[in-house]
């Protein structure tokens, strides 16, 4: 397969594509992607907030499933509006875990009336403690299917005290893997994500930049100690084992200890397209199927 690299990162000040030393291709124009039956878009991803959207259907019938809601409802509303999507189109929110950059507390009061929060059983007590209206929550441990027809297979992984959930989503014969805030890329993760069409996975930090940073040693240990985040090297190794068919999206880059170019360099020459999610702005949506 011809080596293909794709990097479509939108910066705060302009919409230029970042420059790499390997071939770069642009994703589908936003209007084309969003008009398609199902598209995946990371609205933003960093330790300041993570939110992605699966967009289903066409025209006025388009509905949205969010994966994490770590941006404020106001910002989420604005970013969805940029794609012509209404806030009230959010039917479901899949929650990987309840850290503030994945579950912004403002959602507790701002949840659209018909929207369901899907939270793993191990996180329920924490959700109730945070003040989440539990009548709006569906708890899961096993695979389940959303009203929009997306089949969801969760895998629990190590991350801090409570763990995190990675999702494999299957819709109309196309699969999307979503895995972030991973202590390590365990065998169960590799197995669950094997051969997905699109893989969105954390590439949090450059090991050298992390080690040389002036961060407290305790913080470095938390991040690198197997219960924190995946490094660029660990991410690339996991991707090689998972063997995604078409597209890889790198999530949750550290602003202090990483850069899009550094993270992307680990995937140079790979046989899949590559997108680095931006900390502030949505990427060009990926059409699924």
Residues at the interface with Zn ion (CB under 5 A): 101, 181
Q: How far is the CB of 273 from Zn ion (least distance, A)?
A: 24
Q: Is 99 or 246 the residue whose CB approaches Zn ion more closely?
A: 99
- As a whole number of angstroms, the longest Cα–Cα distance in the chain is 51
Q: How far is the CB of 48 from Zn ion (least distance, A)?
A: 9
Q: Is 63 or 229 the residue whose CB approaches Zn ion more closely?
A: 229
Could you list the beta-strand ranges (E) of the chain: 38-46, 49-56, 63-67, 90-94, 116-120, 137-140, 144-145, 151-157, 164-171, 174-179, 198-202, 247-251, 273-276, 286-287
Q: With left for phi above 0 and alpha for psi between -120 and 50, is residue 4 left, alpha or beta?
A: beta
Taking residue 141's Cβ as centre, other Cβ atoms within 10 Å add up to 11
Q: Is 101 or 234 the residue whose CB approaches Zn ion more closely?
A: 101
3-class SS of residue 225: coil
In whole angstroms, give the CA distance from residue 284 to residue 287.
10
Joined tokens for residue 112: 């659209």
Q: How far is the CB of 283 from Zn ion (least distance, A)?
A: 18
Q: Is 6 or 189 the residue whose CB approaches Zn ion more closely?
A: 189
Q: Is 97 or 273 the residue whose CB approaches Zn ion more closely?
A: 97
Do residues 116 and 64 lie in contact, with contact meaning Cβ atoms separated by under 8 Å? no
Q: How far is the CB of 51 from Zn ion (least distance, A)?
A: 11
In whole angstroms, give the CA distance from residue 85 to residue 99.
26
Contacting residues for 169 by C-beta, under 8 A, at least 6 apart: 54, 150, 151, 152, 153, 175, 176, 177, 178
Q: Is 47 or 275 the residue whose CB approaches Zn ion more closely?
A: 47
Q: How far is the CB of 50 from Zn ion (least distance, A)?
A: 6
In whole angstroms, give the CA distance from residue 203 to residue 249.
9
Positive or negative: CA dihedral 176, 179, 185, 187: negative
Q: How far is the CB of 122 from Zn ion (least distance, A)?
A: 17
Q: How far is the CB of 206 from Zn ion (least distance, A)?
A: 17
CA distances from 98 to 46, 88, 137, 284 (A): 15, 22, 13, 27
Q: How far is the CB of 265 from Zn ion (least distance, A)?
A: 23
Do residues 251 and 203 lie in contact, with contact meaning Cβ atoms separated by under 8 Å? yes
Q: Is 92 or 101 the residue whose CB approaches Zn ion more closely?
A: 101
Q: Is 95 or 286 the residue whose CB approaches Zn ion more closely?
A: 95
């Amino acid at each position: 397969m011809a080596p293909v690299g794709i990097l479509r990162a939108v910066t705060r000040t302009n919409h230029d594509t970042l420059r790499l030393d390997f071939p770069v291709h642009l994703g589908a124009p936003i209007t084309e992607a969003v008009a398609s039956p199902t598209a995946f878009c990371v609205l933003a991803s960093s330790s300041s907030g993570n939110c992605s959207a699966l967009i289903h259907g066409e025209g006025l019938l388009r509905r949205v499933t969010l994966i994490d809601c770590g941006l404020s409802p106001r910002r989420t509303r604005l970013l969805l509006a940029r794609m012509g999507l209404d806030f009230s189109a959010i039917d479901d929110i899949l929650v990987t875990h309840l850290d503030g950059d994945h579950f912004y507390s403002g959602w507790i009061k701002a949840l659209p009336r018909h929207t369901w929060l899907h939270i793993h059983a191990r996180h329920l007590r924490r959700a109730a403690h945070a003040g989440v209206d539990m009548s709006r929550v569906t708890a899961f441990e096993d695979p389940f299917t959303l009203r929009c027809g997306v089949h969801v297979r969760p895998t629990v992984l190590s991350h801090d005290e409570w763990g995190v959930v990675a999702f494999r989503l299957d819709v109309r014969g196309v699969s999307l893997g979503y895995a972030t805030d991973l202590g390590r890329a365990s065998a169960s993760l590799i197995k669950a994500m094997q051969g997905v069409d699109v893989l969105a996975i954390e590439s949090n930090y450059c090991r050298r930049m992390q080690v040389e940073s002036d961060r407290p040693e305790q913080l470095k240990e938390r991040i690198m100690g197997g219960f924190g985040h995946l490094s660029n090297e660990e991410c690339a190794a996991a991707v090689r084992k998972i063997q995604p068919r078409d597209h890889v999206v790198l999530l949750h880059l550290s602003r202090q200890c990483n850069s899009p170019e550094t993270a992307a360099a680990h995937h140079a020459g790979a046989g899949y397209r590559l997108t680095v999610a931006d900390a502030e702005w949505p990427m060009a949506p990926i059409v699924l199927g």
